[in-house]
Amino acid sequence: MRRFHFKFFLILFLPFTMHAQTLDTLVDVGGYRMHFKIIKGEGTPILFESGADSDGTVWDHLLNKIHTVTGTTLITYDRSGFGKSEVNPSLKNDSDFGIINGIKELETGLSKLGYNKDLILVPHSYGGFYTQLYASRHPDNVKYIIRIDANLVAHYTDEVLQMMGAQGVPPKTPETLGSYYLGTTYPETVKLLRTINFPSNVPVIDITSPINRGFPDFYWTLVQNAHKNFVDAESNRVQLIAEGSGHNIHLDNPGLVINAIIKAYAQTLNENDKNVLLEKALDNAIVLAIAAKKTETENKHSESDLNDWAYTFLRNEESEKALAIFKLNTMLFPDSFNAFDSYGEALLLSNNKPDAIKMYEKSIALNPENENGKAVLLKIKRE
C-alpha cells in the first residue's frame, strides 16, 4: 500500500502564501497612531477582533492557513493602549475612552487603509462587543460574523456588573492604559450595548466552549442561555460547540476556527469561485486533521487540558487539588507564561500573596508582553 503524508498539499499552497504582500503599519487616526497588520488579497476582507487585554498577535498562527485557501485580505489590529497602538492624548476623562471612541478609531483606521466597505468579522471574547457595535453601525457592509466564544450583552446582568466592579480594575500606568480604560468603561459599554440590537440580516456562526472556566454556576447558566437565545432568535445563526476546547478556541482547536471562517467566506462567492475554494478547503482540512491528530498524540495531557481541569476544581472550591494541578502544569510546561500566570491567580484567590507575586513575576519574565499579569502584579504590590 502506498502511503501519502500529504506534503504535496503544503507544496501547492506555498507559492500563493509566499507571494502574499503583508503590510505592518502604524496609521494616524487623529494625532496618534494605531497598529494594523494586513495580509493583502482579493475578495471580502476578514477583520479579526481580539479579546480583552489581547492585541492582534493572538491571530497570527491562523492567518497564513486562512489566506492559503481564501486568498482574501486579512486584517488584525491593536486597540488603543494595547500592543503597538497609542492612546488619544487629547482625551482627559476616563469615560472618554469607551467603546464608542474605540469604534471610531477603528473606523478611521480602516477608512484610511481603504477597507471601510464590505467585511467579514471574527471576534473573540470581549471582541464580541466591538463587532456588535460595528455591525449595528454598518449592517449592510458586514457580510458574516464568526464569533469565537465571544461576549453577549445578555449575560452581563446588573448583578454580574456589580460583582465585576468589586474586583477592581488594573492600575492606571503607561503600561496598562488599555486594560485600565477597558475595565473602567466596562459597565457603560454593557449599558450601551443593551440599547443596540444585533442586525438580524447578518449571518452568524457562534462557536462556544462547553467548559466552565471557574464561573459561579448562576453566571455559567446565564452564559449558556444567552448563546442559545441569540442563535434561536434568527434562522441565519448557527451555534457550534467546540467540544474539549476552553475559552481560547482559536488556540485549542484552530482547525475548527479556520474551517468555520472558510465556510463563511465561501458564502460571499459566486458558484464557480465556491467550487474552486471547496477544492482548496478539502485539501486544507486534510492537512489540519493530520496536524490535529499529531498534536493530540504528542500532548495527551496538554497545558490547556490541565489548566481547565484545575479551574474546574477551583470553581468547586477544592482549592488544594486545584493548586496541585496548577503547580504541576508549571513543572510540565516551565516555558509557559500562562501556566505561571494561572498558578499565580489561584494562589492569589487562596490568599497566598507572597507566592502569587513570585508566579506573576515568573510569568512576566517569560513573556514581557503579559500586560494583564503586569497589571495584577502592580495591584498586589500596592495593596
Domain ranges of the chain: 7-298, 303-382
- Strand partners for 37: 24, 76
At residue 238, the pLDDT reads 95
Report the candidate in 287, 207, 261 with the shortest Cα–Cα distance to residue 59.
261
Per-residue pLDDT band for 352 (boundaries 50, 70, 90) equals very high
Please check whether residue 99 is in contact with residue 129, taking contact to mean a CB–CB distance below 8 angstroms: yes
Quickly tell me which residue has 494541578 as its cell: 325
Question: Which class is 7-298 in CATH?
Answer: alpha beta
Kindly state the cell numbers that stand for 192.
450601551
Per-residue pLDDT band for 214 (boundaries 50, 70, 90) equals confident
Q: What is the pLDDT of residues 103-131, one digit of tens each?
A: 999 999 999 999 999 999 999 999 999 99
* pLDDT (mean) for 322-341: 90
At residue 361, the pLDDT reads 94
Query: Looking at per-residue confidence, does 102 or 171 come out higher?
Result: 102
* pLDDT (mean) for 49-57: 94
Please check whether residue 376 is in contact with residue 348, taking contact to mean a CB–CB distance below 8 angstroms: yes
Per-residue pLDDT band for 244 (boundaries 50, 70, 90) equals confident
> Is pLDDT at 280 greater than 80 in this prediction?
no
Q: What is the pLDDT of residues 282-303, one digit of tens each?
A: 666 666 666 665 565 555 567 8
Burial class (CB in 10 A: 0-12, 13-18, 19+), 287: middle
**Mean pLDDT across the chain:** 88
Q: What is the DSSP letter of 94?
A: G
At residue 311, the pLDDT reads 87
Domain made up of 303-382: CATH architecture: Alpha Horseshoe (1.25)
- Say if strands 204-208 and 142-148 run parallel, antiparallel, or are unpaired: parallel
Q: What percent of the chain has pLDDT over 70?
A: 89
- Say if strands 237-241 and 204-208 run parallel, antiparallel, or are unpaired: parallel
Of all helices (H) and strands (E), which one includes residue 237?
strand 237-241
- Torsion, Cα 312 315 319 325, to 10 degrees, reads 20
At residue 283, the pLDDT reads 65
Please check whether residue 188 is in contact with residue 98, taking contact to mean a CB–CB distance below 8 angstroms: yes
> Is pLDDT at 151 greater than 90 in this prediction?
yes
At residue 33, the pLDDT reads 97
At residue 329, the pLDDT reads 87
